[in-house]
Each structure stands twice: as structure tokens, then as C-alpha cells.
Amino acid sequence: MTFTADELEAEARTATGLEDFGDPYYREGLERLLDSINHEAELSEMGEMIQRATLVNHLSSRLSVEQTYRDHPEIDEEVVGGPVFVIGLPRTGTTALSQLVAADPQFRSLRTWESTAPTPPPEAATQHDDPRIARTAENLEMLNLTFPLFRAMYNVEPTAPTECQDLMGMSFRTVHYDGMVRCPSYTDWVVDCDMDQTYEYHRRVLKLLQWHCPPTLWHLKTPVHVFALPSLVKTYPDAKFLWSHRDPAPVLGSVCSLIHYVRSWGSDRDDAATLGEQQLALWVEGIGRAMAFRAEHGDDRFVDVAFSDLHRDPVGTLASAYEQLGLELSDASTTAIADWAEEHKPGGRGSHDYDLTAYGISETDVRERFSDYLAAFDASV
């Protein structure tokens, strides 16, 4: 099956009853992604279903966001606070760090249920029993039943914070797609494309989400932000970053194992032997860009968080990070963070086993390519 942008847009219009996708900026990313999927992904029937659902949902969300703004133009007057972004290599504890921050009631986080269905805008009075929470829980349960190894690899919960993949996906410009489907030509393009409007649309959705559901000080997370920090900071000039660090050798093994498994849901093609080099080159580039941005603009907006410290003392590590960011950690915040850490101890979802050499690279390869990073940061554990 060959996907076309016109066909997917028509499906989204039929699903929502809406017509206007807003600024056509998104269309180039969509067309490039579809060209890459059509020619490179080798999707199975299941893969076609998964990708169709994902892409139509992003288009449907965009239609609904635009309609909500037309109905309520005052949303654009909202001011997004911060945000504090959790970044770093994937599989370095960014999810655990993000969830610890999200436990702090002073922050507004992007929750899984509202990321996949941002409209109607959430309401403060019903945010904890919104029917989208139950629907998201059902979908996640089906996902874990169908692909049982996923639960041990990646923690996804309906009300927990999620990555910015859906917000960036509405512009069809994000490295996240690389983790779901083989799309090398799209990935080569997206890491170097103009991301200014992608982050502007990202902020547009945050305004809608906070409109009736404060607080307005945001915390967000995704490793792929490292590829485009200049565009991110252009949109969010007050942004600060919690940068999670870990030895990149086990990180790359975990990254490859996760991607290899997720891609297998939708394709019989096995790229294990070449996946390691592809991911190594990709993330060396991303971290290199983030280091260059930091060197140019200074350390003031960055706080480093070692994976080992986070595991040993999550509350103390976060308290230290808050102090460096100039944030207050109240008694209520401390209690909420400590409660979350107690309920989510490492290893509670099972073990994630992998062999780096199965992906065509060795620990020596990884550490040599990340030598500048290792020399700059405490990433030894």
C-alpha cells in the first residue's frame, strides 16, 4: 500500500468533520515522511495499520487544535511559563527524571492522555477523571498485551508525563518517527530542516492545554530536542534544561534494542546488523549539537543530572538540580516527589536485556565516538 498526503488528510477530515489544517508548513514534513515510508519502510499489514492510525491522529489533532483556536482566539493570549526541559541521550533516565519533576505540583506536564487527544482542552475540575484517561489506559493495555516486552523497555502510563512526539508530530518534523519505522531519507532531512515553526506550534498546543487547566509553569521531555536547541530557545527564551547523563555504551544497546523491537511490530525487515551504526551516528550528531549550543550560550540554563545519582538518591538529586535552576522545592513538592520515587523503584516493571554487538557495534566503538562527551561530563555509570 502507498500512502498519500491527500488520502490521509481526507481521512482526518472525515473523522473530525473539520476542514482547516492551518498553516500549510506541516505539509512538507508529511510528504517527505510518506515518501520515505513508502519506499524504505517495507511495512507489513500490521505496520500499515499502525502508521495510518498514527498519522491520521496527528492530522486530526491538528484540525481540532485549529478549530478550537478559531472558536476561542483568546487562547493565544496565554503565556507559557518556563519551560524546564529534560534532555540527554535516550535511555539515560530521562523518563524517570521527567516523572519525578511531574510529581511536583508546581509544574504542568504533558500527560499521555492529553498528548494523544489535546481537544477539547482539559478542564481543571475534571482533569483526573476525564474519559480520555480510561480510553488511553485501554489502548496501553492492548499495546502491552500485543507486544509484551514493551512494558519492561519503556514506562508509559495514561496520567504520567510523555514525550513531545505528538506535539511535534502535528508538524511532521521530529526524529521520533525514526524510532517507530525505518525512514532513513526522512531522518536525514528532519535533523537539518527548519524547526522554528515546529516549536511555535508546540507552544500553540501548550497554550490550549493550560487555558483551563493550570499551572502554567511547564516541564517537558524528549531527547530529540538536542537536535534543534536554537529553534527551541527562539520560541522559549526562558527555557532551562535538566540534562541526564549516562555511559553511552549501555545507552546505545538499550536504544537499539527498543527501536529494533518497535520496528518489528510493523515490518518483517530486520536491520539489526546496521541499526547500531545508524543510531550511533545519529546521537553523536545530536549530542554534539547540544554541546556546541551550550558552549556558545553558556551553562546558566543547564543542570547536569547523573543517572547513577538519580538511582541512588532521586529526591536529593532533584533537590540539588532545583537549587541550581533557581527553583523552590516546597515541603509539599518534596513529599510528592518522594512518594512517587517510593512507588516507582527501579526494576519494578521487569528487566530489559540486550546485546550491543547484535547491532553491529561494540562498547569501544561507542565510547570512542562519544569521547568529547565523556571528557566533558560525568557519564561513567
> What are 261-304's pLDDT values in tens digits?
999 999 999 999 999 999 999 999 999 999 999 999 999 999 99
Tell me the per-residue pLDDT of 315-325, one tens digit each, with 9 for 90 and over: 999 999 999 99
Q: If you write DSSP's letter for every residue of 113-124 in order, what string do you get? A: HHHH---SPP-G
How high is the mean pLDDT of the chain? 95
Q: Was domain 5-376 assigned CATH 3.40.1190.20? A: no
- Give the count of alpha carbons within 13 A of 130, CB side only: 22
What is the distance in angstroms between the CA of the first residue and the CA of the last residue of the chain?
Answer: 45
Q: Distances in Å between the alpha carbon of 233 and those of 74, 188, 193?
A: 24, 22, 16
pTM: 0.96
Of 48, 65, 67, 66, the C-alpha closest to 7 is 48
pLDDT by position in tens, the chain (length 381): 799 999 999 999 999 999 999 999 999 999 999 999 999 999 999 999 999 999 999 999 999 999 999 999 999 999 999 999 999 999 998 999 999 999 999 999 999 999 999 999 999 999 999 999 999 999 999 999 999 999 889 889 999 999 999 999 999 999 999 999 999 999 999 999 999 999 999 999 999 999 999 999 999 999 999 999 999 999 999 999 999 999 999 999 999 999 999 999 999 999 999 999 999 999 999 999 999 999 999 999 999 999 999 989 999 999 999 999 999 889 988 999 999 888 887 665 556 778 999 999 999 999 999 999 999 996 654
Q: For residue 230, what is the DSSP state?
A: H
Within 10 angstroms of residue 37's Cβ, the number of other Cβ atoms is 25
Q: If you write DSSP's letter for every residue of 128-147 in order, what string do you get? A: TT-HHHHHHHHHHHHHHHHS
